[in-house]
Amino acid sequence: MTRSARLRRRLVEHLLDEDVLHAPEWIAAFRAVPRHVFLPRFFAPAGGLWAAVDRDDPGWLETVYSREVLVTQLDDDPGRWELARRTGPVAGTPTSSSSMPSIMAIMLEELRVRNGQRVLEIGTGTGYNAALLSHRCGAGQVSTVDIDPVIVGEARERLAQAGYRPACAVGDGALGFPAGTVFDRVLCTASVSSVPLAWLQQTVPGGLIVTTLNRPIGAGLIRLVAGEDGTAQGHVLARDGRFMPLRAHRLPEADRLPMPSRDDWEQTRLPMSTVLQPRKQFEFFAGLALPGVRAVRDADDSVSLVHPDGSWVRHRKRGGADEVAQGGPRALWEIAESAFVDWCELGKPERDRFGVTVTAERQEFWLDAPDGRTWPLG
């Protein structure tokens, strides 16, 4: 057995231990598909910067088969890797990556693919996920699209090298696949702020769409069932997953916040971690109560909340107590505290109690039933 094959088996064992991989077909795919073919180079964190890594570096193969997300592009610029190789670590914002294998396994299993079904992947990336789909679904059953022609060209070559030939296209993933084919399953490996209606039009009635939501707070996975009339309905999934957004769905940079005075701080019984951490089940509900509010990390490494209307909240720990200061046209922390009380009174619903409805006129979340309490998706 080759070294890479041993590492693939070890990766599968980790995914089984994490309880994110169950189906024999996907176990076989992860054991067979050579991830290292799709990651000949990537960026590694280096003291706030990004260092270039390739197959000549010690530990490259072990890192490829680790459980970590591996950044493959910065600032939409394929030349940044060569620059980092020549000059040393560079600054930049990740714009493409090979996702954590655990998140990939979760999404692939949630897609509930059956033999003979046609699958569309939105967001080709390295091509590794398309290879896993191709191994599971067979020749001619998988199509993949990405907006970046360089990414698509490299992925096509690496897919062929690994023995897979899905249909690869350059285009805006929000518009679906350029050829206009109808699919049984649609999987988006980038996140969206709203569900593109083109996906519904390219999914057979009864077909499934799995994607992640690009929400500043309370993001996560949803699975929709396409209807007969260009609509869809589904649920937020209990198992979480988060991805980089499609380019058109990215959020703007947050403005610099004012510095509160000594008298602006007041104690709160609601920790910021309860609002922001996915493992704290309130996070999803907090996102419904605080639409458009996002978290930013301050220079002192504390976390604040901001909204485009100028409202803001700073949080700090002092003497073991949680304190906040807030400003702008709305008292965001009062909204968060009120939402926490509301959530408790509703029985502390976890994310999988929420459903999603998508039509041409509206996209909304609902609690327990479509005719129950609703919130806008955006």
Asked if 257 and 314 count as a contact pair (C-beta separation under 8 A), the reply is yes
Sheet holding 312-318, edge to edge: 266-268, 321-327, 312-318, 303-306, 294-297
Orientation of helix 101-110 relative to helix 128-137, angle to 10°: 40
Write the Ramachandran bin of 60: left for phi over 0, alpha for psi from -120 to 50, otherwise beta: alpha
Measured CA to CA, the distance from residue 69 to residue 67 in angstroms comes to: 7
Which tokens in the block code for residue 106? 């979760």
Asked if 317 and 323 count as a contact pair (C-beta separation under 8 A), the reply is yes
Which tokens in the block code for residue 129? 């996920």
Which tokens in the block code for residue 176? 């679906």
Q: How many angstroms separate the Cα of 358 from the Cα of each of 223, 272, 368?
A: 11, 31, 16
What secondary structure does DSSP assign to 153-204, as a single string?
HHHHHHHHHTT---EEEES-GGG--TT---EEEEEEEEEESS--HHHHHTEE
Measured CA to CA, the distance from residue 86 to residue 88 in angstroms comes to: 6
Which tokens in the block code for residue 29? 């795919």
Asked if 94 and 71 count as a contact pair (C-beta separation under 8 A), the reply is yes
Question: What DSSP state is assigned to residue 50?
Answer: E
Measured CA to CA, the distance from residue 141 to residue 131 in angstroms comes to: 11
Asked if 358 and 233 count as a contact pair (C-beta separation under 8 A), the reply is yes
In one-letter notation, the amino acid at residue 35 is: R
99 is catalytic: yes
Q: Tell me which of 97, 98, 99, 134 is the catalytic residue.
A: 99
Report CA Rg, the chain: 22
Asked if 54 and 36 count as a contact pair (C-beta separation under 8 A), the reply is no
The residues annotated as belonging to the active site are 99
